[in-house]
Amino acid sequence: MKKLLSVLLAVLMVLALAGCGQKEETPAGGGEAAPETVKIGVAIYQFDDNFMTLYRQNIQKYFDDLNAQGGTQYEVTIVDGKNDVAEQTEQVNTFISQGVDAMIVNLVQTSSPALAQAVEDSGIPTVFINREIADYNYGPKTCYVGADARDSGTYQGQIIFDQENHGDLNGDGVVKYIMIMGDPENSDAQNRTEYSIKYLTDNGVNVECLYQETGMWDQAKGQELVATALNAYGDDIEVVFCNNDGMALGAAQAINAAGRTVGKDIYLVGVDALVECCEMVKAGTMTGTVLNDDQGQATAACESVLKLLAGEEITNKVNYVPYVMVTPANADQYIK
Ligand code: GAL
């Protein structure tokens, strides 16, 4: 009798486990049973960031759309790391101790793998986004979705090179520029700074950097720094490179205030293809930008979450969504 009971118990446990596994199948499966709820914790490095705001809205929308189909319900909690390592560490540890089913993590700090390691140790399926950790070995339940920042820099350089004077507005044989950087800890900031200039020098253009400062991806800081540089170097500045569009918006304000005219006596490039910037590119008040595909990256990240939840192996551990160069020729496409 005792033996029979333990066999029965074992059978029941197997059945229960198989039942649990079902939530890991196709999300929109439907069926008569009450829909399963899957908890997803999303940690964003900072809400106050133009590009990451679009990104997180896209993540929310992806799961809202799935929920509307009536199958598995995804309960998404998005938290603001306020660009503070301690704050984000606490938020991610809270997700882990609450036992969320999956996470999407946009790290505040990529130079230390400590938080990523805590995520690996938790065994919770997690997709890291937007900020790449250099030389990192993703475990079986984690992966990264982003973009190859070298390409965005290369496109910025190409936009300037494609001008008929290759950026040399005053014809003195040297392109004098200023560089407004994002957070220098990020590979996006490092690569954009390096590869934008590399494209010019690889194509035989002489360059001189007059000023390089970090505006931390922020519009107000971008404005302040470009105003300072224009004040110090005046008409010598031919090109303003900004690591992102947020700072380019600030740069445009400073350029206007200094009485300079983009396309006529100065060039200005950014990255992200924010709608405002694409409108400016179309109007000629910004020379060009580069599409950083927030929607494509958010979709890829959410799809990876679903795959990991389904127990599928992700072979492409570092998934790069392509950048696109944006000039007056195609800016319309990105004004939505
Ligand atoms: C970059 C983006 C910036 C900023 C940054 C945050 O990819 O171009 O605007 O959002 O990520 O890490």
Q: Answer whether residue 215 is part of any domain.
A: yes
State whether 209 and 224 are in the same domain: yes
Q: Answer whether residue 124 is part of any domain.
A: yes
Q: Answer whether residue 27 is part of any domain.
A: no
- Cα(50) to centroid(ligand 1), Å: 8
Q: Residue 98 belongs to what H/E stretch? A: helix 85-98
Q: How far is the C-alpha of 187 from the C-alpha of 149, rounded, in Å?
A: 7
* Whether the Cβ atoms of residue 271 and residue 289 lie closer than 8 Å to each other: yes
State whether 136 and 166 are in the same domain: no
pLDDT given at position 32: 62
State whether 189 and 277 are in the same domain: yes
Terminal CA-to-CA distance of the chain, rounded, Å? 70
Q: Answer whether residue 12 is part of any domain.
A: no
> For a pocket test of ligand 1, which of 217, 275, 297 has the largest count of ligand atoms closer than 8 A to its C-beta?
217
Atom from ligand 1 closest to the CA of residue 245: 9
Going by DSSP bridges, is the β-strand pair 318-320/37-44 parallel, antiparallel, or unpaired? unpaired
Residue type, 127: V
pLDDT given at position 228: 98
Handedness of CA 166, 167, 171, 174 (dihedral sign): negative
State whether 162 and 139 are in the same domain: no
* Whether the Cβ atoms of residue 256 and residue 229 lie closer than 8 Å to each other: no
pLDDT tens track for 294-323: 999 999 999 999 999 999 999 999 999 999
CATH number at residue 220: 3.40.50.2300
Q: Is 188 in the pocket of ligand 1 (CB under 6 A)?
A: yes
Average pLDDT over residues 158-162: 98
Atom from ligand 1 closest to the CA of residue 243: 8
Residue with structure tokens 């205030």? 257
Q: How many domains does the chain have?
A: 2
State what percent of residues in the chain have pLDDT above 90: 88
Residue 176 contacts by C-beta under 8 Å, 6 or more apart in sequence?
207, 208, 210, 233, 236, 237, 238, 239
What is the DSSP code (8-state) at residue 272?
Answer: B
Question: With 70 as the cut, is the pLDDT of residue 43 above it?
Answer: yes
State whether 131 and 263 are in the same domain: no
Q: How far is the C-alpha of 76 from the C-alpha of 12, rounded, in Å?
A: 32
State whether 89 and 201 are in the same domain: no
Give residue 215's domain range.
Answer: 149-291
Average pLDDT over residues 171-175: 98
- Cα(28) to centroid(ligand 1), Å: 32
pLDDT given at position 134: 86
* Whether the Cβ atoms of residue 299 and residue 58 lie closer than 8 Å to each other: yes
Coil, helix or strand for 146?
Answer: strand
Average pLDDT over residues 121-149: 96
More confident position, 26 or 218? 218
Q: Answer whether residue 20 is part of any domain.
A: no
Going by DSSP bridges, is the β-strand pair 318-320/73-80 parallel, antiparallel, or unpaired? unpaired
**Which pair of tokens denotes residue 318?**
């570092």
